[in-house]
């Protein structure tokens, strides 16, 4: 009899231990996160609610919004046992909220038997700001005269902080940079490859809540035609230029095939590298005065020359020349066209030894085919400083400087920037706020 009682007592104790372990096995409430969980939001801002529970699993989730006396249920879902994670999406479209602060309340319960079967509950509150009004755009600059292949400046003011602002047309976007004066400045180019009918610039601004407004500008888009040129490719040219590229390109059966790969694929890769440098621009102007042209240098190639390549009397390829070719004497001193910061200094495919200087606001200058460089990346350069010497590196047929002006990563007409009157009327005067 005593043995039976002891056995019963042991069973009771074991059962009690098992029950206690089961009861206290899961005392952790679900983990809740909301994106966004703070800051300004608009009626169409997408909310993503994530709930996780590695214990007994999620049982129920309720989501409410409160603002003053207003309380609205945004979501209510029940989940089967062993649901370890869940996602709930919602927005505020159609709700009659006031501008200003509001609270999202999330209550998440699990399937645990803890708290006498009520389970673990996580109650969490997120305070946000409701903003349904897009920013107001006030255009500051008045006359905008763009010539195909050329550039200009658009300035405007906004009545609130924004996450994105600039000038766009089609797939092109030129970011605007806020200045200490309070204006936003966007340097824009009318790309050489667009027809005037396709160049319709507009300002766009998106505030921190995601509200967007667009505004038109008064502008004139002048058409311009570009030269058609023929470039004869000789075997001597191939023998001189191709060895520099042997470590960069696949093996081909003939020098001509190698040249075509360089002129097409390597050129595209190099252009993409240069365009990406636009992101490294300074948000304020760094230049001082009119941009300088290389002194005593003859022009050998113009911007946007449409080149047809001829080999043994037959057309083999076509490209567009995206800068000015300037030549004087062999290994001539090359000067910085204006004050700025060196953001690239290296060999770059068709450009050979190449320097890129940033002048702020997305405006940059490129100096290619150099034989020597006298600068380092990160170095500040003054207008007129000697930065290197001309050469024949890259895809160059003779000693010269290939010079480009880039706006937002897109090559633009250099002669505009060498014109003091043009620069004052289209660029510098628009930066003045008085």
Listed residue (419, 10, 27, 44) closest to 209, CA to CA: 44
Half-sphere exposure of 276 toward its Cβ, with a 13 Å CA cutoff?
A: 7
Per-residue pLDDT tens digits for 26-77: 568 999 999 999 999 999 999 999 999 988 889 999 999 999 999 999 999 9
> Average per-residue pLDDT in the chain?
92
Which whole-number Å values give the CA distances from 340 to 112, 199, 262, 285, 286, in the listed order?
65, 29, 31, 9, 5
> Does CATH place domain 21-130 in 2.60.40.10?
yes
Please give the pLDDT value at position 20: 40
Closest CA to 141 of 193, 111, 186, 109: 186
DSSP bridge partners of 175: 166
d(CA 262, CA 107): 62
Reply yes or no: is the peptide bond before residue 8 cis, omega within 30 of 0. Answer: no
Instruction: Judge whether residue 14 has pLDDT over 90.
Output: no
Q: Where in the chain is the domain with CATH 2.70.70.10?
A: 228-431
CATH architecture of 137-222: Sandwich (2.60)
Percent of the chain at pLDDT exceeding 70: 92
Tokens encoding 22: 């089961």
Q: What is the pTM of this model?
A: 0.87
Q: In angstroms, rounded to a whole number, what is the distance separating the alpha carbons of residues 278 and 89?
A: 36
DSSP labels, 371-404: EEE---TT-EE-TT-EEEEEB-TTT-SSSBEEEE
Which residues make up the CATH 2.60.40.10 domain(s) of the chain? 21-130, 137-222
Q: Tokens standing for 150?
A: 């050329």
Domain 228-431 fold = Glucose Permease (Domain IIA) (2.70.70)
Closest CA relative to residue 361, chosen from 170, 162, 185: 185
C-alpha gyration radius of the chain: 33
Query: How high is the pLDDT of residue 248?
Result: 87
SS3 (DSSP) at 103: strand
Q: 422 near 276, Cβ under 8 Å?
A: no
Give me the mean pLDDT over the 223-233 stretch.
Answer: 95
Task: Write the pLDDT tens digit of every residue in 246-292.
Answer: 888 999 999 999 999 999 999 999 999 999 999 999 999 999 999 99
Is 85:48 a contact under the CB 8 Å cutoff?
A: no
Asked if 229 contacts 305 with a C-beta cutoff of 8 angstroms, the reply is yes
Q: How would you class 67 by CB atoms within 10 Å of its CB: exposed for 0-12, middle for 13-18, buried for 19 or more?
A: middle
Per-residue pLDDT for 83 more than 70?
Answer: yes
Nearest to residue 337, comparing CAs of 362, 361, 355?
A: 355
Predicted pLDDT at 114: 58
Q: What's the confidence (pLDDT) of residue 19?
A: 42
Task: Give the pLDDT confidence of 379-408 residue by residue, as tens digits.
Answer: 999 999 999 999 999 999 899 999 999 999
Q: Residue 386 pairs with which residues in a beta bridge?
A: 335
> How far is residue 173's CA from residue 36's CA, in Å, rounded to a whole number?
26
For residue 62, give the nearest of 52, 47, 72 by alpha carbon: 72
């Amino acid at each position: 009899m005593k043995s039976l009682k002891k056995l019963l007592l042991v069973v009771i104790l074991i059962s009690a231990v098992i029950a206690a372990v089961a009861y206290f096995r899961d005392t952790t409430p679900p983990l809740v996160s909301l994106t966004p969980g703070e800051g300004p939001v608009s009626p169409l801002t997408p909310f993503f609610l994530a709930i996780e529970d590695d214990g007994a699993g999620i049982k129920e989730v309720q989501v409410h919004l409160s603002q003053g006396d207003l309380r609205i249920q945004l979501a209510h879902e029940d989940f089967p046992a062993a649901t370890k994670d869940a996602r709930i999406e919602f927005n505020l479209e159609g709700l009659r909220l006031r501008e200003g602060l509001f609270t999202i309340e999330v209550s998440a319960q699990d399937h645990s038997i803890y708290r006498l079967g009520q389970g673990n509950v996580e109650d969490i509150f997120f305070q946000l700001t409701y903003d349904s009004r897009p920013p107001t755009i006030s255009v500051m600059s008045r006359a905008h005269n763009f010539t195909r292949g050329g550039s200009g400046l658009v300035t405007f003011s906004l009545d609130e902080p924004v996450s994105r602002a600039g000038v766009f047309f089609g797939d092109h976007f030129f970011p605007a940079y806020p200045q200490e004066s309070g204006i936003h400045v966007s340097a824009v180019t009318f790309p050489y490859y667009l027809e005037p009918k396709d160049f319709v610039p507009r300002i766009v601004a998106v505030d921190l809540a995601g509200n967007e407004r667009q505004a038109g500008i008064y502008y004139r888009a002048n058409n311009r035609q570009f030269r058609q040129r023929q470039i004869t490719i000789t075997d001597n040219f191939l023998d001189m230029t191709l060895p520099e590229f042997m470590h960069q390109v696949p093996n081909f059966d003939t020098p001509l095939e190698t040249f075509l790969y360089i002129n097409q694929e390597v050129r595209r890769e190099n252009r993409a590298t240069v365009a990406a440098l636009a992101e490294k621009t300074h948000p304020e102007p760094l230049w001082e005065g009119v941009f300088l042209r290389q002194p005593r240098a003859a022009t050998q190639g113009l911007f946007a020359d449409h080149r047809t390549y001829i080999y043994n009397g037959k057309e083999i390829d076509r490209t567009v020349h995206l800068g000015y070719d300037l030549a004087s004497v062999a290994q001539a001193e090359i000067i910085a066209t204006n004050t700025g910061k060196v953001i690239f200094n290296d060999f770059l495919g068709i450009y050979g030894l190449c320097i890129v200087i940033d002048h702020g606001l997305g405006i940059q200058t490129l100096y290619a085919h150099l034989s020597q460089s006298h600068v380092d990346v990160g170095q500040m350069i003054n207008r007129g400083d000697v930065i290197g010497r001309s050469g024949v590196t890259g895809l160059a047929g003779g000693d010269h400087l290939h010079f480009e002006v880039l706006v937002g990563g897109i090559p633009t007409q250099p002669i505009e920037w060498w014109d003091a009157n043009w620069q004052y009327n289209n660029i510098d005067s628009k930066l003045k706020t008085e």
